[in-house]
Structure formats: C-alpha cells, structure tokens
Amino acid sequence: MTLTTDMFKNEGAIEFENVASVIGSGYENDVAVLAIEDKIAYRAARKNMQIHSAIILKVMGVVSGFFTYQINHDAREFCLLQSTIRPEVFDFDLYKAMVQKIIENNTYGYPMFITTNPKSKFETPKLFESIGFTTYLEMSGYAYMVYGDMGDARLKYLAHITMCNVWNSISGKWLKVKREWNEKIEAAGAKHNIPNPKFASRDGCWQGTNGYSNVVLGSHEINEDGEVVHKVGKSFNGNASVLDPVACEVILRFFMPTDGSFVYNPFGGGVQMGFVTGDYGYKYISSEIRQNQCDANNAICQDLKGSAKWIKSDSSEYVPDERPDLVFTCPPYYKVEEYLDYDGNPPEGELNSFPTYQEFRDTLFKGYKKAIDALKDDSFFVVMTGDSRDKNGAYYCCESEHELFFRDNGLHVYNKIVYLECEFTRLAHAKKTLNYRKFPKREQKIIVAYKGDMSKIKDRFPTVGRL
C-alpha cells in the first residue's frame, strides 16, 4: 500500500505505540530498516541502541516512524535518541506528536535531553524550542538541549568544556562561564566595598618576571613640552595570580560526593573556591594566614546561599572542625608571589617567606597531611599547583613532589590535569627566554588524589548521564 501524507488525516490512521525496549517488541527489523533508510538515525539499527525504549509510529497500520529514548534512573534523566518518519508521510505536527508521546511517558519529572543533529531536516533546535526545550550548549553545529531547568544541564555543560585532562581555559565556552562568575564576584565585592575582589589584598604581589599577571599596558606620548613620556595603563589582574572560578566549579561538581556538603581549603588565598562553593549552598572553610585576605573574602561571601568562611590560621597547624567531603587548595608557588598582611609584612609561617624551598615544601606538605587525616574516606584531595624556577633557572620540581607526596601518603594519584592558560605574554617572553632555551610556562597542573576505595567512586559521585 503506497502511503501519502493526507492518509493520516483519516481518523484512526495514526497509532503511537510505546515500547519499553525495541528489542523484544517485534519492531526490531522495522526500526532498523527505517533507521538505515534515514541515514541520520542509523544507530537505531544497532542492538546496543535497540535496548532503549521507543515510540513506534504506525500509519494505516504500517510502521512509518520511531523515536527511541532512554530512561536513566541512575542519572534521573530522559534522553531522546534517534528518530525518523517515512518521508512520504512526514509532517512536523506528526513528529512533534511523537515527541509529546515521549514527554507524556516522563512521569518521573526527570529533565529531558536531546542533541539535535545539524544534518536532520526535522530534528531541529527550532522544533524542540517550540516544544519547550532550551539549548544549553552548541558545539560543531549540534545543539545540546534540555527540557527542564538549565541547572539540570550544568554538569553536562562542564563535562563538555573539559572532557579530557587538558582543560582549555581560553575556549569561548569556558570564558563565558568565567565572565558569569567574575560578574557575581565583582558585584559582591562592590556591594561590600571590597576593591578588586578577584584578587583582594594581593594587588601587585606578583614577583615573577614572566607570566600573565605582570602585564601592565603602557604607551609613550609627547607632552606639551615636546618630551616623550611613558603613560602607565591597565594592569591585568592587578599583578596577582587569580584562581579561575570555572576550574573551581568543575572541581566542585566533579569531586564533591553526591551526599557531600563540606569543602576544606588549606592555604586559602583567593575568594573563588569559597564563593563558588558557598553559591552552590555548600559549607566552605579555608585556613588562610593573612587577616586582610580573610576579612576581604569573608565580606565578599557573606550573602551566599551556603557558608564560606576564611579563618586566620597557619594551615600547617590548622585542623578543620568537621571532616571535609572534598579538600581543595591552590597553595603558593615558591617565591612567585609575596603575601603581605595589614602591616605590610608576611605573617610568621607564611610559606613564601621561607628562605629555602625545602622549608616551604615541608611546611606545605605538613599542612596537606593535616588535611588528608581530616578528609573523609573515599574522597578527593585536589591541588592546583604550578612549578617555579630557582634563581639559576631550574624548576624546583614541586609538581612532581606533589604526586610522590600523595602516593607515599597512601592516596591514589587519580587524575593529572593540565590547566591550559592564555599564551598572550608567554609569546613575548619566549622571544627573550628561548635564547636561554627556556620555554615559558602556559599551564598549571591540577592533581586529583583520592583517599580510599576507588571501586566506590562510580556510586559515590553524581553520574554525569548521557553526554
């Protein structure tokens, strides 16, 4: 029987059948044939895709379309997968009706996800927007859409902007999130009269000769007396390293256990991890040796959903009052920055005031030991660190010593992530330093160590669901 579009206008011509799985439904071959003929939905011909549920469309009793979908109770999500309708009976309303059938089956209130294929003429963002889906990410022509709260798609968004062990902090999608966080931090700083909240109390602390933080724009001009004068312009980040709030959010979302609630940050420094953790409603305690940094950060974070507190203390001695579910730190990099308190001096015990790298390292690791002992079992200890060079130009190998320290203290070095930074100034420096065969550093390391039974990780941390 030749099917035509107007056929389905006849009452009863259209039938939608919901099957819990294509396999065992009797429609295995019909779906596979339609999938192969459609080309875009070809994966629905595979067994591993036919394990999923589907809406089967029949026109005049002839299988004329399908829409496979996955109900994932672990991730508490509905994922719309492959779909097609015979061209000869295709109609947008018919297609939308098939999507509506899937939505009706979502009696769990789960968020629903679809990734629209740019090659499909009907699986389009426009069509799904008309049904109530919203695009949370666009990548290489694909639109990643959610039917539900955008927050439900956040972990997937963060997964897509990281995915591997190189986190590209200058990608457009990364910078978009960074801007959002920095706007929030700036607003909180302005509200509570904290100037430069992103690097409060650390303006100009950069001691390095290369790197992003010592970029100060300047220009030469001729003044009315005909003399050439040098005008100092904008200084990037106030000559201080600034923790990336996006890296903080990724670390918090991926390494906080599902039932976790408390983050401890020894060698606290910048406001970013506390702000992000408190904004998510969790508890955050940081041990920071400088009163001015504590005061600034506590002021900035006083209105957050959760509590974020900086406690003036020496992290090599401090023990948090509760066992943390996650330890995060971005400690000083030896002699890269100078940390001064209200009196203009580094407090006693401030790591970068130690005359030798060995004293710096041993005190740092003493603080880590306290944090490891406090950390709950089956939990992560995440460090963002970077190496620095001694006065002769050789690296101290602090990054490697971190890995060995964790291994030798019974933790598992579980991820070694490269945090890729802007090459902006490094190119300028390379023109000088390459003569000394020094390749300027444009990355930092994020070492993810795990305390406990690694087989528990899958069930102890939120599932990302389908990506």
Ligand X SMILES: C[S@@+](CC[C@H](N)C(=O)[O-])C[C@H]1O[C@@H](n2cnc3c(N)ncnc32)[C@H](O)[C@@H]1O
CB of 309 to ligand X, least distance (A): 14
Q: Is 269 in the site for ligand X (CB under 6 A)?
A: yes
Q: Which is nearer to ligand X, 270 or 320 (CB)?
A: 270
Q: Is 270 in the site for ligand X (CB under 6 A)?
A: yes
Question: What is the Cα–Cα distance from 454 to 13, expressed in whole angstroms?
Answer: 55
CB of 360 to ligand X, least distance (A): 9
Residue 61 is classified by DSSP as T
Phi, psi of 435 (to 5 degrees): -65, -25
Q: Which is nearer to ligand X, 25 or 286 (CB)?
A: 286
Q: Which is nearer to ligand X, 231 or 366 (CB)?
A: 366
CB of 193 to ligand X, least distance (A): 20
Q: Which residues neighbour 209 within 8 Å (Cβ) at sequence distance 6 or greater?
A: none
Residue closest to ligand X, measured at CB: 269
Q: Is 450 in the site for ligand X (CB under 6 A)?
A: no
Contact with ligand X (CB under 6 A) among 52, 58, 283, 290 = 290
Q: Is 351 in the site for ligand X (CB under 6 A)?
A: yes
Q: Residue 284: helix, strand or coil by DSSP?
A: strand
Name the token pair of 323. 């066992």
CB of 268 to ligand X, least distance (A): 6
Stretch of 114-122, 152-160, 179-187, 345-353 contacting ligand X, by CB under 6 A: 345-353
Instruction: For strands 142-147 and 443-451, give the pairing.
Output: unpaired
Identify residues 295-334 at the interface with ligand X (CB under 6 A): 314-316, 330-333
Contact with ligand X (CB under 6 A) among 56, 336, 398, 417 = 336
Q: Is 265 in the site for ligand X (CB under 6 A)?
A: no
CB of 459 to ligand X, least distance (A): 33
Q: Show contacts of 259-262: CB within 8 Å, 24+ apart.
A: 260/325, 260/326, 260/379, 261/325, 262/320, 262/322, 262/323, 262/324, 262/325, 262/326
CB of 203 to ligand X, least distance (A): 12
Q: Is 378 in the site for ligand X (CB under 6 A)?
A: no
Q: Is 349 in the site for ligand X (CB under 6 A)?
A: yes
CB of 339 to ligand X, least distance (A): 4
Counting residues that bind ligand X (by CB under 6 A) gives: 23
Q: Is 339 in the site for ligand X (CB under 6 A)?
A: yes
Is 263:326 a contact under the CB 8 Å cutoff? yes
What distance, in Å, lies between the first and last C-alpha atoms of the chain? 40
Q: Is 293 in the site for ligand X (CB under 6 A)?
A: yes
SS3 sequence of 66-92: EEEEEEECCCCEEEEEEEEECHHHCCH
Q: Which is nearer to ligand X, 349 or 452 (CB)?
A: 349
Beta strands in 86-227 (DSSP E): 112-116, 134-139, 142-147, 166-168, 216-222
Q: Classify burial at 399, counting beta carbons within 10 Å of its beta carbon; exposed 0-12, middle 13-18, buried 19 or more.
A: middle
Q: Is 462 in the site for ligand X (CB under 6 A)?
A: no
Is 110:70 a contact under the CB 8 Å cutoff? no
Is 397:350 a contact under the CB 8 Å cutoff? no
Q: Which is nearer to ligand X, 328 or 450 (CB)?
A: 328
Contact with ligand X (CB under 6 A) among 30, 38, 123, 288 = 288
Mutual orientation of helices 272-279 and 245-255 as an angle, nearest 10°? 50
Q: Is 425 in the site for ligand X (CB under 6 A)?
A: no
Residue ranges that bind ligand X, judged by CB under 6 A? 241, 267-270, 287-290, 293, 314-316, 330-333, 336-337, 339, 349-351
